[in-house]
Protein backbone atom coordinates (compact mmCIF):
# COMPACT_ATOMS: atom_id res chain seq x y z
CA UNK A 1 0.00 0.00 0.00
CA UNK A 2 1.47 3.32 -1.05
CA UNK A 3 1.45 6.34 1.21
CA UNK A 4 2.17 9.90 0.15
CA UNK A 5 4.54 12.00 2.24
CA UNK A 6 5.14 15.72 1.99
CA UNK A 7 8.73 16.50 1.12
CA UNK A 8 10.81 17.18 4.23
CA UNK A 9 11.97 20.52 2.91
CA UNK A 10 8.41 21.72 2.32
CA UNK A 11 7.35 20.72 5.82
CA UNK A 12 10.36 22.41 7.39
CA UNK A 13 9.70 25.59 5.44
CA UNK A 14 6.06 25.62 6.50
CA UNK A 15 6.99 25.20 10.16
CA UNK A 16 9.61 27.92 9.96
CA UNK A 17 7.14 30.35 8.41
CA UNK A 18 4.56 29.51 11.06
CA UNK A 19 7.08 30.17 13.85
CA UNK A 20 8.11 33.44 12.24
CA UNK A 21 4.48 34.56 12.01
CA UNK A 22 3.94 33.80 15.67
CA UNK A 23 7.12 35.65 16.60
CA UNK A 24 6.15 38.72 14.61
CA UNK A 25 2.66 38.69 16.09
CA UNK A 26 4.13 38.53 19.57
CA UNK A 27 6.57 41.38 19.01
CA UNK A 28 4.33 43.71 17.02
CA UNK A 29 2.10 45.76 19.31
CA UNK A 30 -0.89 47.27 17.62
CA UNK A 31 -2.90 50.26 18.85
CA UNK A 32 -3.90 49.91 22.48
CA UNK A 33 -7.43 50.35 23.76
CA UNK A 34 -8.23 52.25 26.92
CA UNK A 35 -8.55 48.94 28.79
CA UNK A 36 -5.15 47.88 27.43
CA UNK A 37 -3.62 51.12 28.72
CA UNK A 38 -5.20 50.64 32.15
CA UNK A 39 -3.77 47.12 32.34
CA UNK A 40 -0.35 48.22 31.04
CA UNK A 41 -0.08 50.97 33.68
CA UNK A 42 -0.21 48.30 36.40
CA UNK A 43 3.01 46.81 34.99
CA UNK A 44 5.06 49.86 36.04
CA UNK A 45 6.19 51.18 39.42
CA UNK A 46 7.75 54.53 40.31
CA UNK A 47 9.78 55.65 43.31
CA UNK A 48 10.82 59.18 44.23
CA UNK A 49 14.50 58.94 45.11
CA UNK A 50 15.09 62.61 45.90
CA UNK A 51 14.01 66.15 45.07
CA UNK A 52 15.90 69.44 44.89
CA UNK A 53 14.47 72.96 45.03
CA UNK A 54 16.11 75.52 42.75
CA UNK A 55 15.59 79.25 43.36
CA UNK A 56 15.77 81.63 40.40
CA UNK A 57 15.28 85.22 41.60
CA UNK A 58 13.40 87.36 39.14
CA UNK A 59 14.89 90.65 38.02
CA UNK A 60 14.06 93.47 40.41
CA UNK A 61 11.83 96.16 38.85
CA UNK A 62 13.59 99.35 37.80
CA UNK A 63 12.89 102.42 40.00
CA UNK A 64 10.19 104.72 38.69
CA UNK A 65 11.40 108.09 37.33
CA UNK A 66 10.65 111.25 39.30
CA UNK A 67 7.14 112.51 38.70
CA UNK A 68 8.21 116.07 37.94
CA UNK A 69 10.91 118.66 38.46
CA UNK A 70 9.57 119.47 41.95
CA UNK A 71 10.64 116.04 43.13
CA UNK A 72 14.16 116.70 41.85
CA UNK A 73 14.25 120.06 43.68
CA UNK A 74 13.14 118.40 46.94
CA UNK A 75 15.90 115.80 46.62
CA UNK A 76 18.49 118.49 46.00
CA UNK A 77 17.32 120.42 49.07
CA UNK A 78 17.61 117.27 51.19
CA UNK A 79 21.23 116.85 50.09
CA UNK A 80 22.27 120.18 51.60
CA UNK A 81 20.89 119.41 55.07
CA UNK A 82 23.13 118.21 57.88
CA UNK A 83 24.37 114.68 58.47
CA UNK A 84 22.00 114.29 61.44
CA UNK A 85 19.01 114.93 59.23
CA UNK A 86 20.30 112.36 56.72
CA UNK A 87 20.73 109.73 59.43
CA UNK A 88 17.22 110.36 60.75
CA UNK A 89 15.77 110.14 57.26
CA UNK A 90 17.61 106.89 56.65
CA UNK A 91 16.09 105.39 59.78
CA UNK A 92 12.59 106.39 58.65
CA UNK A 93 12.99 104.82 55.21
CA UNK A 94 11.07 101.53 54.79
CA UNK A 95 13.05 98.37 54.13
CA UNK A 96 13.12 97.32 50.47
CA UNK A 97 10.56 94.72 49.53
CA UNK A 98 11.96 91.19 49.00
CA UNK A 99 12.70 90.29 45.42
CA UNK A 100 10.08 87.79 44.15
CA UNK A 101 11.48 84.40 43.20
CA UNK A 102 10.38 81.41 41.21
CA UNK A 103 11.15 77.94 42.48
CA UNK A 104 11.61 74.85 40.35
CA UNK A 105 11.51 71.38 41.89
CA UNK A 106 13.69 68.68 40.34
CA UNK A 107 12.33 65.18 40.95
CA UNK A 108 14.71 62.23 40.75
CA UNK A 109 12.59 59.18 39.85
CA UNK A 110 13.27 55.46 39.53
CA UNK A 111 10.87 53.71 37.14
CA UNK A 112 10.62 49.92 36.98
CA UNK A 113 8.78 47.34 34.88
CA UNK A 114 7.10 44.91 37.27
CA UNK A 115 5.53 42.55 34.73
CA UNK A 116 5.45 41.36 31.13
CA UNK A 117 2.79 42.65 28.80
CA UNK A 118 1.97 45.69 26.69
CA UNK A 119 4.59 48.42 26.88
CA UNK A 120 3.74 52.10 26.99
CA UNK A 121 5.83 54.83 25.31
CA UNK A 122 5.26 57.00 28.35
CA UNK A 123 3.44 57.32 31.63
CA UNK A 124 1.49 60.09 33.32
CA UNK A 125 2.47 60.37 36.98
CA UNK A 126 0.52 62.03 39.77
CA UNK A 127 2.65 64.22 42.03
CA UNK A 128 1.37 65.56 45.36
CA UNK A 129 2.95 68.33 47.41
CA UNK A 130 2.23 68.28 51.15
CA UNK A 131 3.26 70.46 54.08
CA UNK A 132 4.96 69.44 57.32
CA UNK A 133 1.61 68.21 58.71
CA UNK A 134 1.05 66.02 55.61
CA UNK A 135 -1.73 68.32 54.38
CA UNK A 136 -2.05 68.50 50.62
CA UNK A 137 -0.94 71.81 49.09
CA UNK A 138 -0.92 71.07 45.37
CA UNK A 139 -1.10 68.27 42.82
CA UNK A 140 0.61 67.97 39.46
CA UNK A 141 0.54 65.55 36.54
CA UNK A 142 3.77 64.92 34.66
CA UNK A 143 4.54 62.80 31.61
CA UNK A 144 7.71 60.71 31.53
CA UNK A 145 9.21 58.85 28.58
CA UNK A 146 9.33 55.05 29.07
CA UNK A 147 9.89 54.07 25.44
CA UNK A 148 13.41 52.78 26.15
CA UNK A 149 12.42 50.76 29.21
CA UNK A 150 12.82 47.02 28.55
CA UNK A 151 10.89 44.00 29.79
CA UNK A 152 10.03 42.76 33.25
CA UNK A 153 12.55 43.87 35.87
CA UNK A 154 14.05 46.66 33.74
CA UNK A 155 14.63 50.01 35.48
CA UNK A 156 15.46 53.51 34.37
CA UNK A 157 16.20 56.77 36.18
CA UNK A 158 14.23 59.84 35.11
CA UNK A 159 14.58 63.50 36.07
CA UNK A 160 11.43 65.61 35.99
CA UNK A 161 11.12 69.36 36.59
CA UNK A 162 8.15 71.11 38.20
CA UNK A 163 8.25 74.81 37.36
CA UNK A 164 7.10 77.85 39.39
CA UNK A 165 6.31 76.01 42.62
CA UNK A 166 5.90 77.70 46.01
CA UNK A 167 7.87 75.47 48.38
CA UNK A 168 8.15 75.87 52.16
CA UNK A 169 11.23 74.46 53.93
CA UNK A 170 9.35 71.42 55.34
CA UNK A 171 7.31 70.57 52.24
CA UNK A 172 7.45 67.05 50.84
CA UNK A 173 6.52 65.42 47.55
CA UNK A 174 5.02 62.03 46.71
CA UNK A 175 4.79 60.40 43.28
CA UNK A 176 2.53 57.56 42.15
CA UNK A 177 1.09 55.82 39.11
CA UNK A 178 -2.57 56.28 39.91
CA UNK A 179 -4.74 53.17 39.88
CA UNK A 180 -8.34 53.11 38.67
CA UNK A 181 -8.29 56.35 36.71
CA UNK A 182 -11.99 57.17 36.06
CA UNK A 183 -12.97 57.32 32.37
CA UNK A 184 -14.04 60.95 32.65
CA UNK A 185 -10.40 61.83 33.47
CA UNK A 186 -8.79 59.88 30.62
CA UNK A 187 -8.24 63.11 28.68
CA UNK A 188 -5.89 64.34 31.43
CA UNK A 189 -3.60 61.32 31.03
CA UNK A 190 -1.63 61.33 27.81
CA UNK A 191 -1.51 57.55 27.35
CA UNK A 192 -5.30 57.30 27.65
CA UNK A 193 -5.81 60.35 25.43
CA UNK A 194 -3.69 58.77 22.70
CA UNK A 195 -5.68 55.52 22.94
CA UNK A 196 -8.89 57.56 22.55
CA UNK A 197 -7.60 59.33 19.42
CA UNK A 198 -8.81 57.91 16.09
Per-residue model confidence as pLDDT tens for the chain (198 residues): 444 444 444 444 443 444 333 333 334 456 899 999 999 999 999 999 999 999 865 544 555 554 454 555 555 555 545 555 555 555 666 666 555 567 999 999 999 999 999 999 999 999 999 999 999 999 999 999 999 999 999 999 999 999 999 999 999 999 999 999 999 999 999 999 999 886
Provide the CATH number for the domain around residue 191.
Answer: 2.60.40
Q: Is the pTM above the cut of 0.75?
A: no
DSSP, res 109: E
The 3-state DSSP class for residue 158 equals strand
Does a structural domain hold residue 17?
A: no
Does a structural domain hold residue 172?
A: yes
Instruction: Compute the distance between CA of residue 22 and CA of residue 19 in angstroms, rounded to an integer.
Output: 5
Give me the pLDDT at residue 31, please: 86
Instruction: Compute the distance between CA of residue 193 and CA of residue 187 in angstroms, rounded to an integer.
Output: 5
Q: Residue 167's domain spans which residues?
A: 32-56+103-196
Give me the pLDDT at residue 88, please: 55
- Maximum alpha-carbon separation in the chain: 134
Give me the pLDDT at residue 101, please: 63
Q: What is the DSSP track for 26-91? A: HH---PPPHHHHHHHHTTEEEEEEEEEEEEEEPPPPPPPPPSSHHHHHHHHHHHTS-HHHHHHHHH
Closest listed residue to residue 147, CA positions, set 108, 190, 107:
190
Does a structural domain hold residue 9?
A: no
DSSP, res 170: T
Is residue 134 exposed (0-12), middle (13-18) or buried (19+ Cβ within 10 Å)?
exposed
Does a structural domain hold residue 23?
A: no
Does a structural domain hold residue 95?
A: no
Does a structural domain hold residue 142?
A: yes
Give me the pLDDT at residue 196, please: 85
Give me the pLDDT at residue 98, please: 57
Does a structural domain hold residue 190?
A: yes
Sequence-separated (6 or more) residues with CB below 8 Å from residue 101: 55, 56, 57, 58
- State how many domains the chain has: 1
Does a structural domain hold residue 129?
A: yes
Amino acid sequence: MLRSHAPATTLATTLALACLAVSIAGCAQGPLTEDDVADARTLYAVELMNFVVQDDPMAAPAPEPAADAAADDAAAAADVEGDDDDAAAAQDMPEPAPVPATQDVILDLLVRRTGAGDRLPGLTLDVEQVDAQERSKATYRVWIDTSQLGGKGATTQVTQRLEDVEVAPDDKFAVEIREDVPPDMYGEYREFAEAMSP
